[in-house]
Amino acid sequence: MMMNSGKSRRASLILTVLAVLTIVLLPALALAGPRSGGSFGGRLGFRSGSGFSAPRSYSTPGYSGGGSHFFFAPGWGWGGYGMGGGLGLFGTVLVVAVLGYAAVAVARAVRRARQGGAGAGDPMSWGQGYDDEAVMPGRAYVYRLQVALGRSGRGVQQRLEEFAAAGDTGTEAGLAALLQQSALELLRQKDAIRYASADASGPMSLTNAETKMNGMTLAERSRFTVERVRAADGRVNRSQEAAEEGREALELVVVTIVIATRSPLAAWKAIGSHQDLEAILAEIGGVSPDGLLGLEVVWTPADPNDSMTETDVMTTYPDLRSL
C-alpha cells in the first residue's frame, strides 16, 4: 500500500508540473513565429470551365456513333444458307460470335469516350489498357512545393512582394508568368534553400482539385495574422497595419507554391537533394497558360524585421526536410 501511495503522489506531481508548464509556455508559443506574410494567385482555369470538353464521337466497323445504332451483317452464303434467310446451326453460331465481338467493341469505345483516354478514336488501340496518367478532360492534379530559405535568401521577401504588386493575376497568361517568375527567383536563390518538401494529388475532378487547392492555401495563409500584400483577380490589397519587430531573429523565410494543372508533372517527386528541387522548379516554371488551372504563392514573414527561427520552422512546418 505504501508503494502504491508513493507512485500516486509522483504521478500527481508530474501532472501538476505539466499543467504549470502548459499554462506558462502556451502564451509564449502563441507569440512565437512570424506575424506577417503575403500571397498572390488565382483560379482562372477552374472558373473558365475550359477544363471540360464535349464528348467526341467514335465509330467502329459496323457501328455508327449516332443516336441509333445498327449492326449490318452481309449476306454471306454458308452451307447453302444466306445470312439474310434461314440459318443453320453453324450460321447461328457465327452470327452470335460476330454480334458478341461488335458488342465488346462498342462497349470499349463508349468506355473510352467517357474516360477521355488517349487514342480512344483509334480502333487499333481498343485492346490496350489506357493510361491513368494521360491528359483527361475534366481532371486535374494539385501540387504543393514548400521551401525555407536561410539568411542569404531574405531578398526573396521583397521580390515576391514586387511580383504581387506588378504581376497580372487577372489572366491565365499572367498567372503562368507569375509562376515562372517565382520559380526562377527560387532557382536563383537555390544555394540559400535549406529545407524543402513536395507533395502531389491526382488525378481528380476539377471540383475536388479546386477544393483541395483552396484548403491548402487557407492553411498557409492562416499561419500569420497580418497579410501584408494580397494580389488576386487583378486586384492588389495591402494592409496598413503597422509592422512590429519580431521577438526572435529572422533566420528563415518560408515560401509555398500551390498549383493545379491539367496534366501530371513528370519531374515531381519527393525532394532529397538540391538536384531534385531544381528539376521541380524548372518544370513548374515551364507550365503553359493552357495547362495551368490555378496558382497560389504564399510567403512568411513578409516584414523585414519579423521573426522566424529554426524552432518555428520545425514546429510549424513538420513536412520540411533538410537538404
pLDDT at 277 over 60: yes
Write down the pLDDT at residue 287: 97
Q: Which DSSP state fits 62?
A: T
- Give 175-190 pLDDT, tens digit per residue: 999 999 999 999 999 9
Percent of the chain with pLDDT over 90: 57
Q: Is 105 exposed, middle or buried (0-12, 13-18, 19+ CB in 10 A)?
A: middle
Write down the pLDDT at residue 20: 38
**How far apart are alpha carbons 92 and 89 in whole angstroms?**
5
Can you list the positions of beta strands (E) in the chain?
A: 36-42, 77-78, 81-82, 139-149, 193-205, 226-232, 235-238, 253-261, 292-300, 321-322
Q: Is 187 exposed, middle or buried (0-12, 13-18, 19+ CB in 10 A)?
A: middle
Query: Worst-scoring range by mean pLDDT, 32-36, 209-213, 276-280?
Result: 32-36
In which band, very low, low, confident or very high, does the pLDDT at 269 lie, cut at 50, 70 and 90? very high
**How far apart are alpha carbons 43 and 200 in whole angstroms?**
18
Percent of the chain with pLDDT over 70: 62
Write down the pLDDT at residue 116: 40
Helical H runs in 155-294?
156-166, 172-188, 206-221, 274-284
Average pLDDT over residues 100-115: 48
Query: Does pTM top 0.75 for this prediction?
Result: no
* Residue 123 cell numbers, joined: 480502333
pLDDT at 192 over 70: yes
Write down the pLDDT at residue 28: 40
pLDDT at 55 over 60: no
Nearest to 253 by CA among 159, 183, 148: 148
Residue with cell 519580431: 246
Write down the pLDDT at residue 137: 77
More confident residue, 137 or 205: 205
Write down the pLDDT at residue 102: 54
